[in-house]
Structure 1
Amino acid sequence: MCEPGYCSTCASEVDLPDLTEGNFKRRDDSNTESLNIIKVEEIEEILLKYSIGKRPLSLLLGWKENTLTRYATGDLPTKDYSEMLKLISQNAAYYQNLLEHHKEKISFEAYKKSLAAVKEVMGRKDEKLSKMDEAVRCLLEEAVEITPLALQKLLYFAQGFQKAFQGEFMFEEDCEAWSHGPVYRRIYEKYRNYGYLPIEEDHQSRCNKLSIEEKETLKAVAEFFGCYSGKVLERMTHEEEPWRNARRNKDEGAPSSEVIKKESMTRYFSSVREKYNMINVSDIKEYALGLYEEIRHKGFCLIV
């Protein structure tokens, strides 16, 4: 007998082992900590945080109606179920997406109450947004259907061209030269559970920390690079010196967490601006088209 659930990577329905009464009993706190299993009090915090009952949350997650009730009264969740609960606890945007996509499983009153709660949670987080978080919000507003893979590359291009045109980087975080191109690790962790799906987030942007020039850079990057898929953008960054230099001749698919040095980005994007005789940030259009043609002529199978 299996109980349906949802994959934390792609949100598709999967089968997980059913937990009958008494299969896994919570013994003590040291046991749950050693197994890294969510605690009863953490489950209660989720219910309070999102103003959702145990039965409705079970249904949203595709579990049996009494599953959360059992966990809240002492039964020990499986690792998969525990990880899903931790995910929605830490990622309000992911929970909101889950709520919207499965609202037909719960009452309208429960849906509205929980929706108001999650929006309040996300609103409080807005006050603590860093400049990079604000840049992400702006990109999500400007471009259409950005996947986590595409988002990473757009942030990288925005950072490089902002430095080339304004003399300063947009945000202080470094990116790493992963096998799939430049990656900002914190942003990766934040959106990784969308997998290859577009990021769906209620992003009423507060870009208070971004200057007019930075917003113009983000808009141009979204317009001229955001029209390509994440895989195309990945190939584009593989053609550029900052990523290749940071990889230090590693095989293309080999893992790496080497930082792409800001000095390398400064040199490269400054040279790009000079080579293409760019006057303002809208001139990056020619560079984007040139990169696309370069990788297309190399025979890569591309989907824009």
Structure 2
Amino acid sequence: MMRFCKNCKEIKSCSVQSETAIKKSRDNTADAVREPGYCCTFASEGYLPALRKACDDYRETIKLIKAEEIEEILKKYDIGKRPLSLLLGWKENTLTRYATGDLPTKDYSEMLKLISQNAAYYQNLLEHHKEKISLEAYHKSLAAVKEVMGRKEEELSKMEEAVCCLLEEAVEITPLALQKLLYFAQGFQKAFHSEFMFEEDCEAWSHGPVYRRIYEKYRNYGYLPIEEDRQNRYSHLSKEEKEILKAVAEYFGCYSGKVLERMTHEEEPWRNARRNTDEGASSSEVIQKESMTRYFSSVREKYNMINVSDIKEHALGLLEKMYHR
């Protein structure tokens, strides 16, 4: 079992035996759990509150989810440690151990972070594995997650509404692909209707254009498709904006994230923003909206685009440029 050794000042494998000790203060007396841990080098012991703080500090250093963050998940979705462990396909006491000092694996930690950040993902998990928990626990947690989802729906920005539309229109969008589709939608919206769809700036990262807020929201999916609530949640998008998004989803959303990345690497806005950056190097340089305006206006003129369906000509042109140099 992994525990924090006060003598070694680090997490080590220890044999642990719990004892009950009396903690007294001026106002009250309470039992406290003392967990002596004996590592391979020293014997150390301490009270659980101090142990939890030390473990949380260590978890923060190595970017693992903290015990208090696990408690927040349980409260947010009105679910107990045991039922959530079962929903995740873990042993029933796994979350209890993580909440009281044991270190989660990196994969388990990332899964818990994803659940914390993405209510739609948790709802999908709950629906697909409800047979693993009691009916009462299921209904309580379902009500809680729906309340969370309702609050989030009210808080959607214009860019987040664009994301909802893309997720509904395209199939199996990864975070990498989503970033490129947003970039194309923003550019073509400006070219066809003389104004951008949303105000957020796009950054020229090594793997192509990135909207940082969307990156942070979906980063835990990695290379997996985004499992998001695909209900119609874009009431503030105009008819013209929806048409652009649907066209981008149809004519660009059929390609993988890596292909879309290569497409954006062929385009002037990304290349201009990285002109002073070494290939493959990290950068947060903003892709200037003026650069996008000039480029996508020239693309529309080049292909004599009349209808939004003509966007497909640019997709085909980029593929031709990529594979037939």
Q: CA RMSD for the aligned pairs?
A: 2.9
**Aligned sequence identity (%):** 80
The one of 27, 44, 66 aligned to 2:50: 27
CA distance in 1: counterparts of 2:16 and 2:158, whole angstroms: 47
Q: Match of 2:267, as an amino acid?
A: E
CA contact (8 A) 2:73 2:116 kept: yes
CA distance in 2: counterparts of 1:257 and 1:162, whole angstroms: 24
The one of 256, 280, 283 aligned to 1:256: 283
Secondary structure of the corresponding residue to residue 86 of structure 2: helix
Q: Which residue is 2:264 aligned to?
A: 237
Per-residue deviation, 1:177 = 0.7
CA distance in 1: counterparts of 2:14 and 2:301, whole angstroms: 62
Instruction: Count the aligned residue pairs.
Output: 283
Shifted more, 180-189 versus 202-211: the winner is 202-211
Per-residue deviation, 1:58 = 1.7
Q: Match of 2:101, as an amino acid?
A: D
Write the deviation string for residues 214-266 of structure 1: whole angstroms up to 9, x where unpaired.
Answer: 11110111111111111111111000000000111534322211111111000
The one of 180, 185, 192 aligned to 1:158: 185
Answer yes or no: is 1:136 the counterpart of 2:163. Answer: yes
Q: Which residue is 1:174 aligned to?
A: 201
CA contact (8 A) 2:56 2:67 kept: no
Q: Which has the higher strand share?
A: 2
The one of 81, 90, 94 aligned to 1:63: 90
Answer yes or no: is 1:272 the counterpart of 2:295. Answer: no
Q: 1:234 to 1:29 in 2, by over 3 A?
A: same
* TM-score for the superposition, normalised by structure 2: 0.77
Write the deviation string for residues 75-106 of structure 1: whole angstroms up to 9, x where unpaired.
Answer: 35447455544442232133234434544543
Answer yes or no: is 1:224 the counterpart of 2:251. Answer: yes
CA contact (8 A) 1:58 1:65 kept: yes
* TM-score for the superposition, normalised by structure 1: 0.82
Q: Which residue is 2:73 aligned to?
A: 46
CA distance in 2: counterparts of 1:118 and 1:253, whole angstroms: 40
Which structure has more relative contact order (CA 8 Å, sep 6+)? It is 1
Q: 1:20 to 1:64 in 2, by over 3 A?
A: farther
CA contact (8 A) 1:134 1:205 kept: no
Secondary structure of the corresponding residue to residue 277 of structure 1: coil
The one of 195, 214, 228 aligned to 2:241: 214
Per-residue deviation, 1:18 = 11
Larger radius of gyration: 2
CA contact (8 A) 1:32 1:38 kept: no
CA distance in 1: counterparts of 2:53 and 2:135, whole angstroms: 39
CA contact (8 A) 2:98 2:104 kept: no
Any gaps of 5 or more consecutive residues in structure 2? 3-12, 18-34, 38-45
